[in-house]
Amino acid sequence: MQNAEIARLLGDVADLLEISAGNPFKVRAYRNAARTVADHPDPIAELVSGGEFDLTDLAGIGGGIAKEITALVETGVLPQRQQLIAAIPPGLLDLLRIAGLGPKRVKLFHDELKVNSVADLKAALDAGNVAKLPGFGPKLLEKIREGVAAAASGDGHKRMVLHEAEQYARAIVEYLKAGGGIDEIDVAGSFRRRKETIGDLDIVVTSSKPAAVIERFGKYGEVTHVAAQGDTRSTVRLSSGLQVDLRVVEPSCFGAAMQYFTGSQAHNIELRKIAQAKKLKLNEYGVFRGSKCISGRTERDVYAALGLDWIPPELRENRGEIALAKAHKLPALVTLDDIRGDLQMHTDASDGKATLAEMVEAARGLRYEYIAITDHSPRTSMAGQTPAEIRAQWKVIDTLNKGMRGFRVLKSVEMDILESGKLDLPDDLLAEADYVVATIHYGLKQTERQLTDRVLGAIANRWVDAIGHPTGRIVPVRPSYPLDFDVVAKAAAAAKCLLEINGSERMDLPDTLAVAAKSHGVRFVLSTDAHNTRELGFMKFAVAVARRAGLEAGDIANTRPLPEFLKGLRRSRNH
């Protein structure tokens, strides 16, 4: 059982307690425990199974919850969750899966409208009863209707955030490798294209013992249902609800299978048209001229047989990449190795979980040349720093930098763009910083014009170096706020203000908007928004978004050595 799944079940308990008007301290305890598990770098289930790890050593996990987690690992069932489900209408848990709904709204529907299921909620929506409740405007109602429709059709549980899917993919691949007999193995599908959410996992294997691999796959500990099992293919469902397909292919077909099961449907249709025009046939087994297979061992062979350069998986969406491959003009996409620094992270001075020293040590372990410590400005509730506190932190950073060689901590801040449009810190403080990222956290229900003007106001300030998570979305729980993005992108390009691609579960900017921004001449910065040392690993997700947008190292400021990075900031022209 992966950490993400344990955390999800602990979160269910918190939600169910809140619906049941449970003790708020207990609700908070389960939410804290869920965050602790989700953030832990090692698999909790393996630690518990080893028998020597004390869960109460982890912050936020007391004796009672430790026993619950241990029972979950040993039995697959979280006792407290089962008790709560038995005490309330079972359909309420389904309501919590609907976008736009949380425990407070589900409780409101239950108490005021006697809504106990998705069907009940649909009836209440159709009768106009939900619209009569305070706070439910047209946009929210439409969002809830969409969620109800998805839940009713069985699509409500389908997609998993890339960050979580990676845990499952890595664990399954390691499990299959441990069984031996595997020559090649890789994960294809939307996971390999690094889409922000994943519908299922497609794993492709070559093996001299396919039957043994198929059998072992079906016995994976998290499999709850084997939907299909043949000589070379198996489909299973995990306890998380994720579907995983395994295909064992001949070595001569591995490249063709990886291409076929990675490309989007639209991409693959275009490739088949090219093959047909050349009187060839393309499928998961290779490229054929008549009955003879002329390529299939590697993906490069497959694309070459069609007269194309190899196309990186992230680009295989039929957005012009095929024409570029034919003309030998594909971009040299940015890689994780190109990144020299992380430009948004938080310490326990605001809402982070690690100290400044711990974040610095972890970043140096990643061989970065520089980082920006961007703790929050005062507006952020219960987490922001006053100007005096920010300056005190910067003095500590100055002292720290004097004792390090080959690495620098930038004096920075994540500053709120206030609902009024003003900035949360004065210019004289911002001028003392090395790097400032401005973001919107509050007032997300303002009009498009108001939100756009707020961002434009920040871009106009000469001491704002970047706009952080520019659309405000969190995948999949919160959509982007309304924004005239073309206007924002043009303004950012003109002002030489960077736009951030945030590698947390925000995945913000989205890849499609990054493409649009690049067309206007915008330059970007990739950041993790890490709140603990583990989340520094989120840089790979920021890189994934950048690659899907076709960005090269030259488009991204923090691929540059420190002197070039600092010189490229517009503040360098203001001092």
Taking alpha carbons only, the member of 496, 489, 502, 380 closest to residue 440 is: 380
Record the tokens describing residue 314, joined without a space.
């992230």
365 forms beta bridges with none
Which of 267, 221, 261 shows the shortest CA–CA distance to 245? 261
pLDDT in tens, the chain (575 residues): 788 888 888 888 888 888 877 788 888 888 888 888 887 777 888 888 777 788 888 877 888 888 888 888 888 788 888 888 787 777 787 787 776 677 888 888 888 888 888 888 888 888 888 888 887 888 778 878 877 877 765 554 567 889 989 989 999 999 999 999 999 999 999 999 999 999 899 999 999 999 999 999 999 988 889 998 888 999 999 988 889 999 999 999 999 999 999 999 999 999 999 999 999 999 999 999 999 999 999 999 999 999 999 999 999 999 999 999 999 999 999 999 999 999 999 999 998 888 999 999 999 999 999 999 999 999 887 688 999 999 999 999 999 999 899 999 999 999 999 999 999 999 999 999 999 999 999 998 889 999 999 999 999 999 999 999 999 998 877 888 889 999 999 999 999 999 999 999 999 999 999 999 999 999 999 999 999 999 999 999 999 999 999 999 999 999 999 999 999 998 887 65
Q: For 148, what's the count of Cα atoms within 13 Å in the CB-facing half-sphere?
A: 20
C-beta separation of 487 from 452 below 8 A? yes
The domains of the chain, with CATH numbers, are: 3-152 (1.10.150.110), 160-249 (3.30.460.10), 254-326 (3.30.210.10), 336-573 (3.20.20.140)
**Which residues touch 494 (CB under 8 Å, ≥6 apart)?**
none
Please give the model's pTM, rounded to 2 decimal places: 0.84
Phi-psi region of 521 (alpha: psi -120 to 50; beta: other; left: phi over 0): left
The pair of structure tokens assigned to 154 is 């069985």
Let me know the angle formed at the C-alpha of 508 by 27 and 559, rounded to the nearest 5 degrees.
125
Task: Dump strand ranges (E) for 255-362.
Answer: 281-283, 286-289, 292-295, 341-342
Q: From 327, 362, 333, 329, select the one nearest 347 (Cα to Cα).
A: 362
3-state DSSP assignment of residue 518: helix
* CA atoms of 65 and 55, how far apart (whole Å): 9
CB neighbour class for 436 (10 Å; exposed up to 12, middle 13-18, buried from 19): buried
Which residue type does 8 have?
A: R
- Distance separating alpha carbons of residues 7 and 25, to the nearest angstrom: 18
Residue 217's contacts (CB-CB under 8 Å, 6 or more residues apart) are 176, 223, 234, 236, 246
